[in-house]
């Protein structure tokens, strides 16, 4: 995928702007500013979810494309007498990879750099191989004592790793917060293309970038209830299972670069899924398949049972090393995902209804 200069700088801003769950305001501002000139209207809500709208025909159905905008992180839980910060996780951050990492603490007075303390190999107790929990981890911000630390940060300040992103190859991008800042990029690009082809559209379009997915899909729940679209196509990241040490019998076979995945089962409406896979076939977009017996662990779980039910489908971006600062994705997959979302929305009829039973 070749990104235009404008697209690349938008992707870059999305990825480098911190957006941990509950603290998404700066990240959402980047997204809203990009969509405002394109959309007929951008709606926001009390907690910071944002939805761009293309109004085509008041009598037609409305389709919602959706991604969550929050990333995992940490938060300052306690400042001790020596000036060390004790932390709690935000979302599913993994304590086993946290030690010896540089972090940014995002306080009211600006960004403070810190490092998660790590005992030197020479001084480690070799008999103790117990993995670390978040309660065992502390951050050193160079403060001599509590007073000095409190002048720099406060309990409740959010924390992210200092990593941004790099390209491993021209196609493979690697960094922090691809889950799911890159989803905001995907729905924005699909929305932009749909706006350019508005005269071909038969349905109204909403692109929702929702807060608070990583702690339970709350932003998507609030906005779905309010907007009540007729059909929803959700995107998030999914585990690429093509690296060593992953049991594909247990977790399925998803390849990086193999195209977006489509989920079957549970929250995924059979007719929307069928429609989506037919669109992929028609447009020769390679897709991969996943099964979900209970929860998908995405915003789809929050959207589909809103009020009387919103027929929903989930199409995901394969991602290696999820919930780490080296999350890795393929731009080819990103491009195919945008193509699929665009083609799906353009395929819908003004009066299209998805009922499971005839």
Q: Are 203 and 59 in contact (CB under 8 A)?
A: no
Pick the stretch among 29-37, 46-54, 80-88, 180-188 that binds Zn ion (CB under 5 A). 180-188
Pick the stretch among 25-33, 59-67, 100-108, 174-182 that binds Zn ion (CB under 5 A). 174-182
Q: Which is nearer to Zn ion, 71 or 339 (CB)?
A: 71
Please tell me whether residue 301 binds Zn ion under the rule CB under 5 A: no
Please tell me whether residue 179 binds Zn ion under the rule CB under 5 A: yes
Pick the stretch among 73-81, 108-116, 173-181, 255-263 that binds Zn ion (CB under 5 A). 173-181
Q: Which residues contact residue 145 at a Cβ distance below 8 angstroms, ignoring those fewer than 6 apart?
A: 81, 82, 83
241: preceding bond cis by omega (within 30 degrees): no
CB of 96 to Zn ion, least distance (A): 19
Instruction: Output phi, psi for 290, to 5 deg.
Output: -135, 150
CA atoms within 13 A on the CB side of 132: 21
Q: Which residues contact residue 341 at a Cβ distance below 8 angstroms, ignoring those fewer than 6 apart?
A: 65, 186, 187, 190, 233, 235, 315
Query: Applying CB under 5 A, which of residues 180, 277, 288, 300 lies at the interface with Zn ion?
Result: 180
Q: Residues 66, 213, 214, 342: which is the catalytic one?
A: 213
214 flagged as catalytic: no
User: Shortest CA distance to 334 belongs to which of 178, 215, 200, 199?
Assistant: 178
Q: Please, what's the b/e burial string for 214-239 (b: 16 or more CB within 10 A of its CB; e: otherwise)?
A: beebbbbbbbbeebebbbbbbbbbbb
CB of 327 to Zn ion, least distance (A): 10
CB of 90 to Zn ion, least distance (A): 13
Pick the stretch among 12-20, 177-185, 268-276, 312-320 that binds Zn ion (CB under 5 A). 177-185
CB of 181 to Zn ion, least distance (A): 10
Q: Are 47 and 190 in contact (CB under 8 A)?
A: no
Query: Applying CB under 5 A, which of residues 66, 163, 236, 327 lies at the interface with Zn ion?
Result: 236
User: Shortest CA distance to 287 belongs to which of 341, 243, 244?
Assistant: 341
Q: Which is nearer to Zn ion, 163 or 236 (CB)?
A: 236
Q: Which residues between 115 and 144 bind Zn ion (CB under 5 A)?
A: none
Which residues of the chain form contacts with Zn ion (CB under 5 A)?
Answer: 179-180, 236
Active-site positions? 213
């Amino acid at each position: 995928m070749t990104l235009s200069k404008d697209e690349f700088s938008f992707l870059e801003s999305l990825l480098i702007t911190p957006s941990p769950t509950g603290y998404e305001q700066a990240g959402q501002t980047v997204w809203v500013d990009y969509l405002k000139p394109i959309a007929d209207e951008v709606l926001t809500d009390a907690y910071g979810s944002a939805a761009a709208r293309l109004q085509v025909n008041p009598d037609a159905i409305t389709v919602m494309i959706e991604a969550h905008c929050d990333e995992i992180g940490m938060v300052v839980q306690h400042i001790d007498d020596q000036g060390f910060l004790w932390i709690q996780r935000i979302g599913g951050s993994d304590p086993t990879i946290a030690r010896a990492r540089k972090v940014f603490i995002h306080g009211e007075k600006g960004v403070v750099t810190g490092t998660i303390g790590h005992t030197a190999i020479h001084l480690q107790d070799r008999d103790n191989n117990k993995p670390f929990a978040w309660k065992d981890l502390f951050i050193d911000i160079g403060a001599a004592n509590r007073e000095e630390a409190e002048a720099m940060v406060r309990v409740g300040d959010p924390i992210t790793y200092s990593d941004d992103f790099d390209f491993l190859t021209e196609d493979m991008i690697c960094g922090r917060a691809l889950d799911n800042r890159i989803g905001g990029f995907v729905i924005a690009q699909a929305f932009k293309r749909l706006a350019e082809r508005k005269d071909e559209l038969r349905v109204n379009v909403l692109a929702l970038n929702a807060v608070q997915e990583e702690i339970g899909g709350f932003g998507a729940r609030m906005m779905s209830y309010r907007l009540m679209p007729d059909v929803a196509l959700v995107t998030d990241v999914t585990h690429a299972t093509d690296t060593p040490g992953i049991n594909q019998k247990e977790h399925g076979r998803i390849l990086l670069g193999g195209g977006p995945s489509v989920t079957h089962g549970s929250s995924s409406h059979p007719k929307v899924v069928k429609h989506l896979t037919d669109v992929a076939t028609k447009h020769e977009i390679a897709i991969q398949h996943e099964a979900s017996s209970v929860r998908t662990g995405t915003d789809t779980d929050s959207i589909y049972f809103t009020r009387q039910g919103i027929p929903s489908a989930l199409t995901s971006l394969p991602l290696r090393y999820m919930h780490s600062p080296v999350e890795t994705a393929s731009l080819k997959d990103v491009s195919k995902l945008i193509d699929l979302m665009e083609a799906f929305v353009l395929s819908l009829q003004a009066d299209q209804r998805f009922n499971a039973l005839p």
